[in-house]
Amino acid sequence: MIIWGITALGHDGAITVLRDGEIVFAAHSERYSRIKNDPYLNNEIVEEALTYGEPDEIVWYEKPWLKKTRQAWAGQWKEVFGKDTLPKPYLKKFFEKVPKISYVRHHEAHAAAGAFTSPFEDAIVMVMDAVGEWDCISMWLYQYPNKLKLLHTESYPNSLGLLYSAFTQRVGLKPNEEEYILMGMAAFGKPYHARKIEADFFNPEKLTQLKINPHIGIGDYIPSAKDVDLAASIQEVIHRRVTKWFRQAMALTGNRVRNFVYGGGVALNCVANSYVAELVDSLWIMPCPGDAGNSLGAALLKYNHAVEWNGPYLGTNISGEYPIIEPIKAMLRGEVIGIANGRAEFGPRALGNRSLLADPRNPNVKDKVNEVKQRQKFRPFAPAILSTDCENEFSLPIDQSPYMQFTGYAKNPTRYPGIIHVDGSSRVQTVSPEDNIGFYQLLAEWKKQTGCSMLLNTSLNIKGEPLVNTREDADRFEQKHNIKVYS
């Protein structure tokens, strides 16, 4: 049985192929079209998915007609009547005969993507995003292998995700794309306006009942405020509200279940995630918790059973032995280098197979890498560290962080200026042999030669472009940016 889950026509298009209960392929449309956050499918991703088998059934990541009712209510008539808004006619572009199509609820797909890949027998599942069809927050009870019981929902426009996006736009960034930059900007400011935001936007008697619709934006809210202070303030509000929701979930279930699964775009906020991790016994966030991950969730709902999660390396393969010796020689000379090897990561973060790497001890490396990536100079970088050494170097709210989903604080920050943010925090990736054997061996050899068990790790791309996908993409990157990319 071959099931394709598809996310498209919204944002972050993706395809997942599930074959007899095994995730054999999962990839983002943008990596093939080279258009950041591409909402559409393209012939290249469809052709690669077909190499894993013709679909017996396609499962769409949301219910389009239900979504249209919300768009009509919001007056978004272009979306209601626009071209390419319904799956079946759209998929005729890629299939001579369109396979059977079924549809699932957007938030249920988020819930399944997390729960059915989690290590838990039972869990509370929290989903927070901008908006699905109508849902913006949902709470579920999961029991292995396939039971998802809806406990509570919050409907549009009561959305933490949309509010965060509105503030992203307010400070001059691109909503639905650059929220992660807002999160990094927040460390440079103070949450002076957090109380005012709470008072101006939230009904005091409800956790997420908003007084306005953030979908329309917030204009020049507090015009005299510094952007960095607005960023710090909305970050403070969001993490407070998120943690309140997790406490609410515990109370609703009588504190019987302390395993949590977390999904939706808000789960990409690694600063808020770190507060959540302090509250719960165990927390699982699938490495692609946003809408692209709904392609996996949709397929899993049709399969109707939990599956074995073997990691996020599910995309295009660049064959060859993982490079170790030559990259280390280059980094010892002070160079920034690229790695493009193995299967591409499913999710927004480079985890060793499509990475730019550098020595984090170099005091100038942060500026150098930001210059290569054409990013704002304030932007931080993450450390990738041997999992066995993490406790010695960082204080994290969890034991392991293989998917770069939590922030911690370096115990020896002056030694590693390349991976320390202005507030002293780092978004840490721990690496074990089970996570990525090639990347682990590179880090182990780096430690053997230098005594340092970590590297600066960022995505192999420049600002505004998707991650490198193929060897041809890597060659173009190498030639254009004068950075050696090893395969």
Rounded CA-CA distance 386/394 in Å is 12
Rounded CA-CA distance 194/234 in Å is 6
CA atoms within a 13 Å half-sphere pointing along the CA-CB vector of 127: 38
Distances in whole angstroms, Cα of residue 57 to Cα of each of 10, 309, 312, 463? 21, 22, 23, 37
Q: Which two tokens stand for residue 355?
A: 């990475």
Rounded CA-CA distance 202/410 in Å is 35
Q: What's the confidence (pLDDT) of residue 258?
A: 85
pLDDT tens digit sequence for 354-386: 999 999 999 999 999 999 999 888 888 999 999
Rounded CA-CA distance 355/438 in Å is 13
Rounded CA-CA distance 281/127 in Å is 18
pLDDT at 153 over 90: yes
The H-assigned helical ranges of 53-205 are 64-73, 77-81, 87-91, 106-115, 160-170, 179-185, 194-201
For residue 406, the cross-strand partners are 428
pLDDT at 257 over 90: no
pLDDT tens digit sequence for 17-32: 999 999 999 999 999 9
pLDDT tens digit sequence for 77-118: 999 998 899 999 999 999 999 999 999 999 999 999 999 999
Q: What's the confidence (pLDDT) of residue 292?
A: 98
Please state whether beta strands 382-386 and 425-431 pair in parallel, antiparallel, or not at all (unpaired).
parallel
**CB atoms near residue 259 (< 10 Å):** 18
Q: Please say whether the beta carbons of 238 and 268 come within 8 A.
A: no
- What is the average pLDDT across 397-402? 95
- How buried is 223 (Cβ within 10 angstroms: 0-12 exposed, 13-18 middle, 19+ buried)? exposed
The domains located in the chain, with CATH, are 2-106+297-303 (3.30.420.40), 118-285 (3.30.420.40), 313-486 (3.90.870.20)
pLDDT tens digit sequence for 406-418: 999 999 999 999 9
For residue 345, the cross-strand partners are 313
Distances in whole angstroms, Cα of residue 160 to Cα of each of 163, 200, 276? 5, 14, 15
Q: Residue 431: pLDDT band by 50, 70, 90 thresholds?
A: very high
Rounded CA-CA distance 115/257 in Å is 14
Nearest to 61 by CA among 122, 119, 12: 12
Please state whether beta strands 14-19 and 425-431 pair in parallel, antiparallel, or not at all (unpaired).
unpaired
pLDDT at 130 over 90: yes
Q: 396 phi and psi, to 5 degrees?
A: -120, 155
Q: Residue 208: pLDDT band by 50, 70, 90 thresholds?
A: confident
Please state whether beta strands 394-395 and 354-358 pair in parallel, antiparallel, or not at all (unpaired).
unpaired
